[in-house]
Amino acid sequence: MITSIKTKFKDILARFFSGEGMSYRDVFSLLLPVVVDQFFLIGFNFINMAMISSSGAAAISAVNIVGSLNVLLVQLFTSIALGGTVLIAQYYGQKNYKMIGKMVNGGVYATVLVATTAAILFMLLHSPILALLFGAASPAVIHGARIYMIGILFSYVGESTIEGVNGCLRGIGRTKVSLQLSLLMNTIYLLFNFLFVTFMHLGVFGLTLSLNISHYSIAVLAIWTLYRNRAHFGLNFKTLRHVDWGLTKRVLKVSVPFAAESTFFNGGKIIMQMMIVTLGTAMIAANAIASSWIQLSEIIPNALSVALVPIVGQCIGRNNIGDAKN
């Protein structure tokens, strides 16, 4: 009886999730780590929001209003990493390992370049940007927002390095490795938040310290992870010593549609945030708490959007359009 049920279940999975060049086991091996990653990422964000709530409504509001702007900027360079994933997945499908190694250069450097440029620009203009977007907020909220924004911008080089490496790993189907990096980074972030926010009561400043410690420590580990997986990429580390501007431009060109889509979508969220700011600190805090709950419903859609990129990319690389469509 049990054997019959298992056989029927496998037949259903094979019918709906298998293709000529990729079985349902391959699909789920790529998808499940991304789902787990999204679940823990949103779960950690939820816990962090609970911890910062002990610092008062102004701290919650500061984190929330800057958080909407941070999502816009992070999604911008994450989109660049996704462009690298597309190209690496295609070459991986073709088994063109020489080009995979070269595209790692373009993917990582393009992601870091965009993130660093955004960080410098917004660092220089953070005061007028906050005044323009959220000037209606109370002075206490703006003060906390300024601290949080500067701290976040400092972390972008480390975060973009991680995203660039994760994009490369997902391109060759190593989503479990990217999951391990993500879980370790968020665990470090959470532990230091307990230290700085809950025990030392550093508030928003404590959040930024935790963020930078977690991002830069895992950025170093991410580069080491590239070295460990160099055989899968056909990677020679001489390739990473200098920026290949031709490949960087190619990644940026592929990434434009992803970046434009995320900019329009998250730009709408910022407009809504600007409206909420006019309602006062209590309403900003209430919106922040409600938003952390709403994010739970986004786990599966976000995971699918990330996992489908290497799956479809590898199918296109094998010139198997039928599998890509299915």
Where are the chain's structural domains? 58-325
Q: How many CA atoms lie within 13 A of 56 on its CB side?
A: 10
pLDDT at res. 69: 83
CB distance 206 to 197 below 8 Å: yes
Banded pLDDT at 190 (limits 50, 70, 90) = confident
CA 295/CA 118 separation, integer angstroms: 25
Query: Is 60 exceeded by the pLDDT of residue 16?
Result: no
Amino acid identity of residue 309, one-letter, is V
User: What global pTM score does this model have?
Assistant: 0.84
Q: How many CA atoms lie within 13 A of 252 on its CB side?
A: 13
pLDDT per position as a tens digit, 47-75: 766 777 767 777 777 777 787 788 888 88
> Cβ–Cβ contacts within 10 Å for residue 53, how many?
16
Q: Which of 7-21, 91-105, 152-166 has the highest average model confidence (pLDDT)?
A: 152-166
CB distance 39 to 300 below 8 Å: no
Residue whose C-alpha is closest to residue 295's, from 48, 39, 37, 32: 39
Phi, psi of 19 (to 5 degrees): -135, -165
Strands (E), the chain: none
pLDDT per position as a tens digit, 264-317: 777 777 777 777 777 777 776 777 667 766 666 767 777 777 767 777 766 766
